[in-house]
Amino acid sequence: MAGGREIKTKIKSTQNMRKVTRALEMVSASKIRKAQDLMRASRPYARSMRQVIAHVAQASTDFRHPFLVERADVARVAYIVVATDRGLCGGLNSNLFRKVLADVRQWQDKGVEVDMVAIGQKAVQFFRRIKGVNLVATTTHLGERPKLEQLIGSIKVVLDAYTGGKLDRVILAFNDFVNTMVQKPRLDALLPLPTAAEQIRKESREQGDGDTVVAIDIKREHDWDYLYEPDAGSVLEHVLSRYVESLVYQATLENLASEHAARMVAMKAASDNANKVIDELTLVYNKARQAAITQEISEIVGGAAAV
C-alpha cells in the first residue's frame, strides 16, 4: 500500500484537476447560449439560400453554370472539414474525422484524388499527418464570433478549382448541433448543385424539422425559369458563390455550438470522475493512516511488555 504522503499528493493533484474541469465546464455553459443564438440567427438565411438554389437547380435556362453541371467521371474530390481550434471536447473531433476518413477511403479505392480544406486547428493538425490527402487551404482561430470574411479565402480556393475543372465534387463535413447532449458528424454534398439539391430533398423527407437543418421539398412536376438581369452568368456566379459561403458559415456556427456543448458535457463527466477518485483515495489514505497508528500502538505495547 502506498504511503500516506504519496496518497495525499495524489489527492491534491486530483483536486487541482477538478478545479480546472469545473472552470472549463462553467465557461462552456456560459458560452453555449451565445453560440446557439448565433447559430439560430443564421439558419433562416441559410434555409432561404438553400430554397433559392433548389429552384435554380431545376430552372430551364440555356446557360449552365459549372456548379450546376454534374460530371460523369470523378477524378478529384475536395472536403471542407470544420473542426474546433481547441480540444477537451470529448469525441467531437475524433468522431467527425473518423467519418471523413471512411468516406475518403471509399473515394481513394476508386482511384480518386482527395484535396482537403481544414477549418480549425484540430483539423489542420490531424489531416497534415494523413498520407494521400492534399491539404490545400487552412483557416484557424475563428474565435467565439466567427466572421464570414475569415472563411472566404479558403472557400475561394475550392470554388476556383471547381470552376477551373480541377475538382469534380465538393463535400462539407462538420458537427451538426442537435441538442446539448447530441452532436452528429455530418457530410453534405456542396457541389455539383444537382447532387446537393437531391440531398436537400432527402434531408427534408427524413427530418421534417425546420429547426434542425432544412425543410425543403421541391416538386418536380414544374419547370422553373427566371429572367436574369444583366445576364444569367453574372447572376448565377454571384448567387451560387453566396450559397456555398452561407453553408460553410452555417456549418462553422453549428460546429461552434457543438464544441461548447460537447466540452461542457465532457468536463462535467471529468469533474464527476475526479470526485470519485478523490473519495477512493481518501478512503485508501484513511486505511493507511489507521494501519500506521495500529502498528505504532502495537510497537509501544510490545516494548512496554518487554520491559
Q: Closest Cα partner for 207 from 217, 220, 221? A: 217
Average pLDDT over residues 172-182: 87
- Count of CB atoms within 10 A of residue 20's CB? 14
pLDDT at 21 over 70: yes
Average model confidence (pLDDT) across the chain: 81
Cis bond before residue 44 (omega within 30° of 0): no
Yes or no: domain 32-261 corresponds to CATH 3.40.1380.10: yes
pLDDT range class, residue 142, cuts 50, 70, 90 = confident
Q: State how far the Cα of 57 lies from the Cα of 49, in Å rounded to an integer.
A: 12
The angle subtended at Cα 32 by Cα 31 and Cα 37, nearest 5°, is 105
The angle subtended at Cα 129 by Cα 99 and Cα 168, nearest 5°, is 55
Q: Which residues contact 272 (CB under 8 A, 6 or more apart)?
A: none
Homologous superfamily assigned to 4-26+267-306: ATP synthase, gamma subunit, helix hairpin domain (1.10.287.80)
> Contact 183/262 with Cβ under 8 angstroms?
yes
Instruction: Report pLDDT for 173.
Output: 92
Kindly report, residue by residue over 39-52, the tens digit of the pLDDT. 888 888 878 877 77
Q: Which residues contact 277 (CB under 8 A, 6 or more apart)?
A: 14
Average pLDDT over residues 138-149: 87
Average pLDDT over residues 265-292: 86
What stretches of the chain show up as alpha helix (H) in DSSP?
4-56, 92-109, 121-127, 148-163, 193-207, 232-306
Q: State how far the Cα of 36 lies from the Cα of 47, in Å rounded to an integer.
A: 16
Query: How do the domains of the chain map onto residue ranges?
Result: 4-26+267-306, 32-261
Strands 183-191 and 169-177: antiparallel
Instruction: Report pLDDT for 195.
Output: 58
Instruction: Report pLDDT for 297.
Output: 81
Instruction: Report pLDDT for 198.
Output: 59
**Phi, psi torsion values for 56, nearest 5 degrees:** -60, -35
Q: State how far the Cα of 82 lies from the Cα of 161, in Å rounded to an integer.
A: 19
Kindly report, residue by residue over 97-138, the tens digit of the pLDDT. 999 999 899 888 888 899 999 999 999 999 988 888 888 889
More confident residue, 138 or 298: 138
Q: State how far the Cα of 100 lies from the Cα of 171, in Å rounded to an integer.
A: 10
Kindly report, residue by residue over 200-257, the tens digit of the pLDDT. 555 544 554 443 333 334 444 555 667 777 777 777 788 888 888 888 998 999 999 8
The pTM score is 0.78
Q: Closest Cα partner for 244 from 184, 126, 161? A: 161
Strands 76-82 and 133-139: unpaired
Percent of the chain with pLDDT over 70: 86
Least confident of 107-116, 153-162, 284-293: 284-293
pLDDT range class, residue 174, cuts 50, 70, 90 = very high
More confident residue, 229 or 140: 140
Least confident of 67-76, 272-281, 297-306: 297-306
Q: State how far the Cα of 216 lies from the Cα of 58, in Å rounded to an integer.
A: 14
Amino acid at position 10, single letter: K
